[in-house]
Structure 1
Amino acid sequence: MTITPFAAGSYNTTLNTQRLLATKEKLDGLTTQLSTGRVAETYGGLGAARTTSLTAHAQVARLDGYAASITGALNRITLGSASLQNLSKVTSTTVSTIATGLTNTSSSSARDTTRTTAAANLDLFVDTLNQNYAGTYIFGGRATDTPSVASADAILNGDGTKAGLTAMIAERKAADGATGSPGTGNLSIPATTTATVTISEPANVTGDNGKTAADRANFGFTLGTITSSNPTAFSPTVAAAAAAPTVTLGFGTQPKDGDVVRVSVNQADGSQTFVDYTARTATTGATNEFVIGANAAASGASLKTALGTSQIAAAQSSSPPGVTATFNGGTAASTTLTVSSTTPPQNGDTITVTLGLRDGTTTTLTLTAKTTTDGKDPSVFLIDADPVVTAQNLQQALFATTKASAGTTLSASSAVLAAKDFFAGSKSDVFAPRRVDTAKGGFASNPAGKTVIWYTGDESLADPRGTATVQVSSGQSIGIGAQANETGIRNALSGIAALASEGFASTKDPNDATLSATDRTLALSERSRYTALTDRVRSVLTPKQDDQGIAQVATELSLASAQITNAKAQNGATRAQLQNTLDGTDTISTEEVAANLLAVQNQLQASYQVTSMLSKLTLVNYMS
Structure 2
Amino acid sequence: MIVNKSMFPVQTGFGVISKMQDKFATLQMQLGTGDKASKLSEMGRDLPLSLSVRSRLGSIEGFSANIDTVNLRLSFLDKTMTRFDKMEGEARNAAIPGQYGTGGINMATLPSLSAARFDEIVTMLNEDVAGRYLFGGKNTDKPPLLTTDALLNGEGGKSGYTEVVRQRRIADGVDDGVVAASPGPPVIAPLAPGRLTIDGTTPGTVTLGEDGTAAHPFGFKLSTISTTAASTAVAITTPATVPKTFGIAFTGQPASGDNINVGLKLPDGTETQVKLTATSEVPPPPGTFLIDATPDQTAANYQTALGQALERTAKTDLRAASAFAAANDFFHEDGTAWVPTTSVPGGKPDGLAPNSTNFVQWYTGSQAPAGQSARQSVSAAIDDASRVNYGMQANESGFLGLIRSQAALAISTYPSEAEVRGDLESTRLAAMAQPEGPLRSSALAAYEGKVQASYRLSTGFFDGMATRQQSELSEGQNSEAGSIEIITMDIGIAMKSLENATDRHKTYKSQLDNLLSDVETVSKEDVAMEILALQTRLQASYQTTSMVAKLSLVNFI
Partner of 2:339: 435
Contact 1:198 1:334 in 2 (8 A): yes
Q: Does 1:338 align with 2:277?
A: no
Deviation readout 1:175-224 (Å, 9 max, x if unpaired): 1112226341111124558332222212xxxxxxxxx437x532111223
Q: Decide which of 341, 363, 371 is 2:280's aligned counterpart.
A: 371
Determine helix, strand or coil for the equivalent of 1:54.
helix
Counterparts of 2:554 and 2:245 in 1: how far apart (Å)? 147
Partner of 1:177: 173
- How far is the alpha carbon of 1:114 from its aligned partner? 2.0
Deviation readout 1:282-322 (Å, 9 max, x if unpaired): xxxxxxxxxxxxxxxxxxxxxxxxxxxxxxxxxxxxxxxxx
Contact 1:498 1:537 in 2 (8 A): no
- Report matched runs for 1:380-395 at 5 Å: 380-395=288-303
The code of the aligned residue for 2:257 comes to G
Counterparts of 2:294 and 2:102 in 1: how far apart (Å)? 39
Question: What TM-score results when the alignment is normalised by the length of structure 2?
Answer: 0.85
Counterparts of 1:560 and 1:239 in 2: how far apart (Å)? 56
Determine helix, strand or coil for the equivalent of 1:188.
strand
The code of the aligned residue for 2:210 comes to E
- How far is the alpha carbon of 1:592 from its aligned partner? 0.3
Q: Does 1:414 align with 2:414?
A: no
- How far is the alpha carbon of 1:352 from its aligned partner? 1.6
Change (3 A) 1:64 1:213: same
Contact 2:329 2:338 in 1 (8 A): yes
- How far is the alpha carbon of 1:128 from its aligned partner? 1.0
Partner of 2:149: 153
Deviation readout 1:252-281 (Å, 9 max, x if unpaired): xxxxxxxxxxxxxxxxxxxxxxxxxxxxxx
Q: Does 1:60 align with 2:57?
A: yes
Counterparts of 1:198 and 1:219 in 2: how far apart (Å)? 20
Q: Which of the pair is proportionally richer in helix? A: 2
Q: Decide which of 109, 120, 127 is 2:105's aligned counterpart.
A: 109
Partner of 2:489: 555
Partner of 2:221: 222
Contact 1:140 1:458 in 2 (8 A): yes
The code of the aligned residue for 2:392 comes to A
Counterparts of 2:519 and 2:253 in 1: how far apart (Å)? 110
Change (3 A) 1:498 1:446: closer
Partner of 1:361: 270
- How far is the alpha carbon of 1:617 from its aligned partner? 4.1
The code of the aligned residue for 2:545 comes to T
Partner of 2:499: 565
- Report matched runs for 1:406-485 at 5 Å: 406-426=314-334, 432-438=336-342, 439-440=346-347, 441-445=349-353, 447-461=355-369, 462-485=372-395
Partner of 1:488: 398
Deviation readout 1:452-507 (Å, 9 max, x if unpaired): 22212122543322222221111111112211112222222212222222222445
Counterparts of 2:3 and 2:511 in 1: how far apart (Å)? 58
Change (3 A) 1:489 1:36: same
Change (3 A) 1:7 1:458: farther
Counterparts of 1:507 and 1:74 in 2: how far apart (Å)? 53
Change (3 A) 1:6 1:171: farther
Deviation readout 1:137-163 (Å, 9 max, x if unpaired): 111111111112211111111224222
Contact 1:177 1:183 in 2 (8 A): yes
- How far is the alpha carbon of 1:40 from its aligned partner? 0.6
- How far is the alpha carbon of 1:11 from its aligned partner? 8.1
Q: Does 1:21 align with 2:13?
A: no
Alignment coverage as a number of residue pairs:
513
Counterparts of 1:134 and 1:230 in 2: how far apart (Å)? 70
Give the superposed CA RMSD.
2.7
The code of the aligned residue for 1:501 comes to I
Partner of 2:440: none
Q: Identity of paired residues, percent? A: 29
Q: Decide which of 532, 536, 546 is 1:602's aligned counterpart.
A: 536
Partner of 2:311: 403
Determine helix, strand or coil for the equivalent of 2:406.
helix
Counterparts of 1:529 and 1:230 in 2: how far apart (Å)? 31
Counterparts of 2:54 and 2:545 in 1: how far apart (Å)? 45
Counterparts of 2:366 and 2:204 in 1: how far apart (Å)? 62
Change (3 A) 1:583 1:19: same
Partner of 1:86: 83
Partner of 1:580: 514
Q: Which runs of 4+ in 1 moved over 6 A?
A: 509-515
- How far is the alpha carbon of 1:569 from its aligned partner? 0.6
Partner of 1:237: 236
Partner of 1:278: none
Partner of 1:213: 213
Partner of 1:544: 477
Counterparts of 1:511 and 1:146 in 2: how far apart (Å)? 49
Q: Decide which of 429, 453, 462 is 1:530's aligned counterpart.
A: 462
Contact 2:421 2:451 in 1 (8 A): no
Determine helix, strand or coil for the equivalent of 1:368.
strand
Question: What TM-score results when the alignment is normalised by the length of structure 1?
Answer: 0.77
Determine helix, strand or coil for the equivalent of 1:516.
helix
Contact 1:137 1:145 in 2 (8 A): yes
The code of the aligned residue for 1:54 comes to L
Deviation readout 1:511-554 (Å, 9 max, x if unpaired): 99997222211110111111111111211112536413112101
